[in-house]
Amino acid sequence: MTADHLRREEWAVTLPSLGWLLALFAAPTLLVFAVSFRPADPYGGIGAGWTLATLREMARTPLGPVIARTVRLSALTTAICLALAIPCGTCLARVAPRRQAVLLLLVVVPFWTSFLIRVFAWRMLLHPEGPLKRVLVTVGLADPHTQLLYSEPAVLLVMVYTFLPFAILPIYAAAEKFDLALLEAARDLGAGPWGAFVKVFLPGIGRGVLTATLMVLIPALGSYVIPDLVGGPGQDMLGNRIAQRAFSDRNLPQASALSAALTLAALAPMALAALVQRRPPALEAAARKEAA
């Protein structure tokens, strides 16, 4: 096979997906940034010419609380998911193979079921006349006037519920590869159980934790359905604002500008992760100096 031939074959198998994704993924993503600088037209379309009016308009609306809520809820969701996923993923990695298959299935299947239906199920559970409220009132943990649904904790709860499997699976995969003899070695060298966990186990599954963080944090930042269905009127996240601008206000440029901001926000943790994973040589050298 000549190099030329190989090249042609490569293009033949690459071009269909490359072309499709360039046209329907890369181009629209860039377009969103461009449209932020276009005026809105009254019929919900995109006007002609270039303008900074959209951005100026945005600066005038108080977005601060929405952004703060979005970041807060996403960060909390990520933290809670990690706190649950680290012990859970570790446990899954250590059980006997037969049990492991069953347990993994039990984790994955809810995640395969319709997302809307899972959110709906929580609406039922948290409903003022729903079972959870009755149980809580009976046990004395809530009084009859407590509002479970349409509150920020409810949004957080359902976000954790939705994203938890995304955190468990990568941590499980990393923990499965982790050599348990390292924990024994740490104990043997004088580290207590907690010390061994922090100094050896966590760094050992570090990549899994990082993947889990990204897998939860990024989609969490883009949450829209969850605050829409279980959050109260004052609990909008950035996603709700985007949908609002796009559908209720029919102002695509403003929706685009918000989307562009959200895209940048989603890119930030990815860039940070890339930085952490490929530790620059300066840090490595510093670490060496410290150890020696």
Interface residues for other proteins in 9-68 (CB under 8 A)?
10-11, 13-14, 16-18, 20-22, 24-29, 31-32, 35, 44-46
Subset of residues 225 to 284 that bind other proteins, contact rule: CB under 8 A: 225, 229, 239, 242-243, 246, 252, 255-256, 259, 262-263, 266, 270
- Separation of alpha carbons 231 and 243, rounded Å: 15
Nearest-approach distance from CB 234 to other proteins, in angstroms: 18
Residue 175 · residue 205 · CB < 8 Å: yes
**Of the listed pieces 51-59, 61-69, 126-134, 139-147, which binds other proteins according to CB under 8 A?**
126-134
One residue of 71, 118, 136, 142 binding other proteins per CB under 8 A: 118
Length of the chain: 292
Q: Could you give the string, one character per residue 182-221, with x where binding to other proteins holds by CB under 8 A and - elsewhere?
A: x-xxxxxxxxxx-x---xx--xx-x-------xx--xx-x
One residue of 107, 137, 142, 173 binding other proteins per CB under 8 A: 107
- Separation of alpha carbons 220 and 212, rounded Å: 12
Nearest-approach distance from CB 235 to other proteins, in angstroms: 16
3-state secondary structure of 292: coil
Nearest-approach distance from CB 44 to other proteins, in angstroms: 8
Tokens representing residue 250 in the block: 């029919």
Tokens representing residue 156 in the block: 């957080």
Residue 276 · residue 210 · CB < 8 Å: yes
Residue 163 · residue 220 · CB < 8 Å: yes
Subset of residues 72 to 101 that bind other proteins, contact rule: CB under 8 A: 84, 87-88, 90-92, 94
- Separation of alpha carbons 292 and 289, rounded Å: 5
- Separation of alpha carbons 230 and 163, rounded Å: 16
One residue of 60, 98, 145, 288 binding other proteins per CB under 8 A: 288
Q: Could you give the string, one character per residue 137-176, with x where binding to other proteins holds by CB under 8 A and - elsewhere?
A: ------------------------x--xx--x--------
Residue 216 · residue 166 · CB < 8 Å: yes
Nearest-approach distance from CB 15 to other proteins, in angstroms: 8
Nearest-approach distance from CB 233 to other proteins, in angstroms: 14
Using CA atoms, how far residue 121 sits from 37, 53, 117, in Å, is 41, 42, 6
One residue of 63, 152, 224, 244 binding other proteins per CB under 8 A: 224
Taking the least distance from each CB to other proteins, the nearer of 53 and 225 is 225
Size of the site for other proteins (CB under 8 A): 106
3-state secondary structure of 143: coil
Q: Is 95 left (phi over 0), alpha (psi -120 to 50) or beta?
A: beta
